[in-house]
Amino acid sequence: MNELQGKLSLWLRAELGWSDVEFVKALSGGNSNQTWLFSDGDNRCVVRTPPAESISPTSARGIERESKALAIAHGVARAPELLAWCGDASVIGQAFLVQRFIDGVAITDTLPAAYGDPVESANLLGKDLMAQLAAVHSIEWPTDGLDMLGRPAGFVERQITRWTKVRAEQAVRELPKLFELSDWLLKHRPEADRPALIHGDYHLDNTLADRHQPRINAIIDWELATVGEPAMDVALALLFWGNQRSSVPPAFKHLQAISRLDGVLSRRELAEHWSELTGRPLDNMGYYIALASWRLAAIIEGSYGLYCAGKTNTAYAAGLEYDVPALLEEAHCATRGEW
């Protein structure tokens, strides 16, 4: 346990009333925040805090945003319970949140050994993925607390203009399709649906699945949560689902790879399941898949910029050289209704 983790242990003892807090290990997964497991006997908690290097000077606000989203979503959807929030940078040098530990596994290309038939298991996970998202989207504006996460008016337009501006000002390579798509998305904005809490980065890999049965135990990584268009959450999850991808290999080929088997429910079938649970239409899902893919490309191009500047040197960041253009191609196909 290093000095920082030692300070956290002392703070957790005082704040949570635990008697013998110990650092257990760093938890894997995620590319934007540090995640550590602490325990006190049978009690376990997870601390999340920003890394030293981040995509933008304001990205640390994501931890605070996540804490607010957890406080709202817990008890409605399978979100971890928020145990504490610390905005006092004097404790460890930066803000952090504390959430209750939930056991589970992040699934990418391999199902837990205890699961049965892989196609049936993928279908059960896919339907539960949509069911939990429907629960999140049941928290509609103006539920108490949502105003702390954002304002719904003009949400889609703000996303497009914001990330277009960022990429124009922080360009590290030529991406003409990004700006062509930006124009198309602005011109073809559909009428907004009922605003609700949205996760902002929703797909199977940002959940914890049960180790023994195909079931979602927890939705994690809420730092992009806001109030906005629920179809965007569905669109991002669908983007990585199944074999209908425009690039070979697809962008982030590992995400939801367990869904790429014959007999697994299609994107449209999963979308229909969400629609039935929420009563929300699917008329504009092609637009929102294009928007979700474009927005993700625009955001993560920032990580590629850090890689090009020599500030990070991970396989994830290096792979964005291919993944960002591939996401833009996915967005282009979705504008033609190919989803």
Tell me which amino acid residue 183 is. Answer: D
Examine the domain organization and report whether 84 and 177 are in the same domain: no
In tens digits, the chain (339 residues) has pLDDT values of 688 888 999 999 999 999 889 999 999 755 568 899 999 988 999 999 987 555 445 657 889 999 999 999 999 999 999 999 999 988 998 899 999 999 999 999 999 999 999 999 999 999 999 999 999 999 999 988 898 998 888 999 999 999 999 999 999 999 999 999 999 999 999 998 899 999 999 999 999 999 999 999 999 999 999 999 999 999 999 999 998 888 888 999 889 999 999 999 999 999 999 999 999 999 999 999 999 999 999 999 999 999 999 999 999 999 999 999 999 999 999 999 999
Task: Give the pLDDT of residue 55.
Answer: 46
**Residue 308: Cβ-neighbour burial (10 angstroms; 0-12, 13-18, 19+):** middle
Q: What is the pLDDT of residue 33?
A: 83
Q: Kindly give, in sequence order, each residue whose CB lies less than 8 Å from that of residue 338, ignoring residues fewer than 6 positions away.
A: 244, 246, 286
The reply to whether 15 and 83 lie within a common domain is yes
Does 89 share its domain with 142? no
294 within a domain of the structure (yes/no): yes
Two tokens, residue 158: 């703000």
CA distance 36 to 31: 14
* Sequence-ordered list of residues with C-beta below 8 angstroms from that of 216, at least 6 positions apart, any chain: 78, 125, 128, 129, 132, 207, 208, 209, 210
127 with 217, same domain: the answer is: yes
In-domain check, residue 224: yes
Q: Are residues 81 and 122 in the same domain?
A: no
Report the alpha-carbon distance of residue 223 to residue 63 in Å, rounded: 6
Alpha carbons 48 and 83: distance in angstroms, whole number: 12
Do 190 and 331 belong together in one domain? yes
Domain limit, last residue, from 70, 100, 130: 100
Whether residue 174 is found in the same domain as residue 323: yes
**Number of domains the chain contains:** 2
In a domain, 110, yes or no: no
Q: Two tokens at 75? A: 């008890």
pLDDT of residue 316: 93
100, 128, 156: which is the final residue of a domain? 100
C-alpha angle with apex 63: 58 to 66, nearest 5 degrees?
A: 125
Per the structure, the complete domain to which residue 307 belongs is given by 118-335
